[in-house]
């Protein structure tokens, strides 16, 4: 009965409340169902990796033989594996797990020259920035920046990202890959553009060497790396400028506490170690890193005094070469450790700790062996770094002995590169990114199999989504039940 003096209370609309109670959980449920599809369609980026390719072994044999009398040269940090396979590095690109579409561009290059005549070379071919592209339809090809000389006209032409080879991915699915994607022994066939690049030496359809590549997939949706907190350690002290004197960007004398020394020892030695004769390899320790075409030792400890022309930079790390296995032991077991660069004026010296066994049967342990010399006058200051790139290095008599006299004194070793920060803000160039170490598989497959880490991650993600869906479904049911209860209660009142 209405209360006298008060306006009548409008009737309740329980159905409206029910709809309102259902809207939010239902919206969340639909949003969650929509998001996984959107996340799967996002393109994880290709960040790091390597591509190994011998181009065509018969071509390399012909190139370096008595007819062509040629050679090849590496550029941009390209390395060799086993003597005749080229390793390109630092992959970058895109990948769509939903379709398997992939684009991965690798850094580095190689230049082939031969048939010297009239002060030039009739054969001159350069390949760089090799790129593997795979489409959602299963097609795949190898592209490259090409500079080549025509055998017919002698003219040199260049092309950016020419499709030089078709790749066969028959029976291989690139969908839903995660972590490190590796494909081994991918067949390659020369295209018409590739035939032009080879100056007409081969026709389209010619089989090239198969290639192997490995790329690291990194989702852009991953949380960005946090900015490192400022170090509590104070930077190395530098000499304060005298009052009234102009401020110098680099102090007269600097204490070295960071830096990198890059050296490949000798390319032919690495090829010998990993080749068919020694059938060995190398292991890195104590902080030494693999840069593909060289090894990197860090940090630098010592000093640089430009006024006196003296350098003292000590690095840590070991590289151990093993091979020539015989009777359960390696006849080659040589360790180079803790390189040390010193200089006085233009006289530069490289000393290392040498230990182990060389193929001539000699076993030695010698610290601070002066194995090579260099021209320290080529060191320069640039971008607040004391630096030198590809500085020639010459083997000493002691160095010849350290290598078991495989090379005579005076042999040109691999050049050295050094970067020593002279200020707290100076940065060392990054190491070439070879990606994660791939796991070789005789039959490549990019699709995660049950029990693999990628499959486990996928299963974990699906499980987590299922849990959230269940929680929201319960919330939806609870909200609906609460609304119905409110309606019944209202009816009873």
Per the CB < 8 A criterion, the answer to whether 273 and 323 are in contact is yes
Segment 136-160 mean pLDDT? 91
Confidence of residue 82 (pLDDT cuts 50, 70, 90): confident
Per the CB < 8 A criterion, the answer to whether 72 and 110 are in contact is yes
Distance between CA atoms of residues 123 and 147, nearest Å = 11
- Give the best-scoring range by mean pLDDT among 171-180, 403-412, 479-488: 403-412
Least confident of 68-82, 213-227, 242-256: 242-256
Residue 166, phi then psi, degrees to nearest 5: -95, 140
Give, as one character, the DSSP assignment of residue 378: G
Can you give the pLDDT at residue 252? 66
Q: Which of 171, 210, 174, 175 is nearest to 190 (CA)?
A: 210
Per the CB < 8 A criterion, the answer to whether 311 and 387 are in contact is no
Q: Which of 159, 132, 130 is nearest to 146 (CA)?
A: 159
- Write out pLDDT tens, residues 34-81: 444 334 444 558 999 999 999 999 999 999 999 999 999 999 999 998
- Write out pLDDT tens, residues 258-313: 999 999 999 999 999 999 999 999 999 999 999 999 999 999 999 999 999 999 99
Segment 424-442 mean pLDDT? 83
**Whether the predicted pLDDT of 233 surpasses 60:** no
Distance between CA atoms of residues 288 and 316, nearest Å = 7
Confidence of residue 200 (pLDDT cuts 50, 70, 90): confident
Can you give the pLDDT at residue 42? 47
Segment 476-483 mean pLDDT? 46
Element (H, E) at 23: helix 14-41
Tokens standing for 54? 């011998």
Segment 472-492 mean pLDDT? 45
Distance between CA atoms of residues 409 and 429, nearest Å = 32
Tokens standing for 298? 């860090």
Element (H, E) at 194: helix 192-197
**Whether the predicted pLDDT of 405 surpasses 80:** yes
Tokens standing for 129? 């920035």
Distance between CA atoms of residues 359 and 282, nearest Å = 15
For CA atoms 477, 479, 480, 482, the dihedral sign is: positive
Distance between CA atoms of residues 283 and 271, nearest Å = 15
Can you give the pLDDT at residue 463? 36
Q: Which of 267, 177, 164 is nearest to 216 (CA)?
A: 177
Least confident of 48-52, 99-103, 238-242, 288-292: 238-242
Can you give the pLDDT at residue 439? 63
Can you give the pLDDT at residue 487? 41
Instruction: Give residue for tokens 């390696």.
Output: 330
Tokens standing for 415? 């050049």
Tokens standing for 447? 């699709």
In this predicted model, which residue has the larger pLDDT, 440 or 326? 326
Per the CB < 8 A criterion, the answer to whether 187 and 53 are in contact is no
Element (H, E) at 361: none
**Whether the predicted pLDDT of 419 surpasses 60:** yes
**Whether the predicted pLDDT of 477 surpasses 70:** no
**Whether the predicted pLDDT of 111 surpasses 50:** yes
**pLDDT above 90: percentage of residues in the chain:** 66
Can you give the pLDDT at residue 198? 87
**Whether the predicted pLDDT of 3 surpasses 60:** no
Q: Which of 417, 173, 411 is nearest to 295 (CA)?
A: 417
Least confident of 149-158, 209-218, 284-293: 149-158
Give, as one character, the DSSP assignment of residue 377: G
Angle between helix 453-492 and 14-41 (nearest 10): 170
Task: Give the N- to C-terminal CA distance of the chain in Å, as an integer.
Answer: 13
Tokens standing for 155? 């003219």
Confidence of residue 133 (pLDDT cuts 50, 70, 90): very high
Instruction: Give residue for tokens 């609460």.
Output: 482
Can you give the pLDDT at residue 83? 79
Element (H, E) at 486: helix 453-492
Can you give the pLDDT at residue 118? 87
Segment 135-164 mean pLDDT? 92
- Write out pLDDT tens, residues 14-26: 444 444 444 444 4
Least confident of 158-167, 224-233, 321-330, 361-370: 224-233
Q: Which of 437, 435, 426, 412 is nearest to 299 (CA)?
A: 426
Can you give the pLDDT at residue 219? 65
Q: Considering the chain, what is the average pLDDT of its residues?
A: 81
**pLDDT above 70: percentage of residues in the chain:** 73
Least confident of 109-118, 194-203, 227-236, 442-451: 442-451
Tokens standing for 101? 């579409």
Segment 327-344 mean pLDDT? 97
Give, as one character, the DSSP assignment of residue 465: H
Q: What is the CA radius of gyration of the chain?
A: 32
């Amino acid at each position: 009965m209405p209360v006298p003096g008060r306006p009548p209370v409008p009737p309740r609309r329980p159905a409206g409340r029910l709809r309102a109670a259902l809207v939010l959980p239902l919206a969340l449920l639909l949003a969650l169902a929509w998001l996984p599809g959107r996340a799967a369609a996002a393109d994880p980026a290709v960040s790091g990796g390597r591509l190994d390719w011998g181009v065509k072994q018969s071509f390399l044999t012909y190139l370096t033989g008595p007819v062509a009398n040629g050679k090849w040269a590496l550029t941009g940090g390209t390395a060799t594996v086993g003597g005749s396979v080229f390793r390109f590095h630092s992959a970058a690109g895109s990948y769509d797990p939903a379709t398997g579409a992939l684009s991965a561009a690798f850094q580095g290059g190689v230049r082939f020259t031969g048939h010297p005549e009239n002060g030039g070379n009739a054969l001159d071919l350069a390949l760089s920035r090799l790129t593997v592209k795979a489409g959602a339809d299963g097609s795949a090809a190898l592209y490259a920046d090409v500079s080549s000389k025509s055998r017919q006209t002698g003219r040199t032409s260049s092309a950016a990202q020419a499709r030089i080879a078709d790749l066969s991915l028959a029976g291989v699915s690139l969908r839903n890959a995660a972590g490190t994607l590796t494909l081994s022994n991918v067949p390659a066939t020369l295209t018409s553009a590739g035939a032009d690049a080879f100056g007409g030496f081969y026709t389209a359809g010619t089989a090239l060497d198969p290639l192997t590549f490995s790329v690291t997939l990194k989702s852009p949706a991953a949380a960005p790396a946090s900015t490192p907190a400022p170090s509590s350690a104070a930077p190395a002290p530098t000499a304060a400028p005298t009052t009234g004197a102009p401020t110098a960007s680099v102090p007269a004398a600097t204490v070295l506490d960071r830096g990198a020394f890059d050296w490949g020892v000798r390319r032919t030695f690495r090829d010998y170690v990993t080749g068919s004769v020694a059938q060995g390899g190398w292991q890195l320790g104590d902080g030494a890193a693999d840069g593909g075409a060289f090894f990197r030792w860090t940090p630098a400890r010592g000093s640089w005094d430009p006024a006196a022309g003296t350098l003292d930079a000590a690095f840590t790390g070991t590289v151990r070469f093993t091979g020539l296995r015989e009777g359960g032991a390696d006849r080659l077991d040589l360790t180079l450790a803790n390189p040390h660069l010193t200089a006085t004026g233009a006289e530069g010296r490289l000393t290392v700790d040498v230990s182990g066994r060389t193929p001539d049967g000699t076993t030695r342990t010698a610290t601070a062996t002066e194995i090579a010399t260099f021209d320290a006058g080529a060191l320069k200051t640039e971008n607040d770094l004391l630096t030198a790139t590809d500085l020639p290095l010459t083997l000493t008599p002691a160095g010849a002995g350290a290598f078991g006299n495989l090379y005579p004194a005076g042999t040109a070793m691999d050049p050295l590169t050094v970067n020593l920060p002279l200020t707290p803000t100076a940065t060392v160039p990054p190491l070439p990114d070879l990606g994660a170490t791939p796991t070789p598989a005789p039959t490549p497959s990019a699709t995660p199999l049950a029990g693999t880490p990628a499959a486990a991650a996928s299963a974990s993600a699906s499980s987590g989504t299922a849990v959230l869906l269940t929680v929201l479904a319960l919330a939806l049911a609870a909200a609906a039940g609460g609304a119905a209860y409110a309606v019944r209660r209202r009816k009873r009142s």
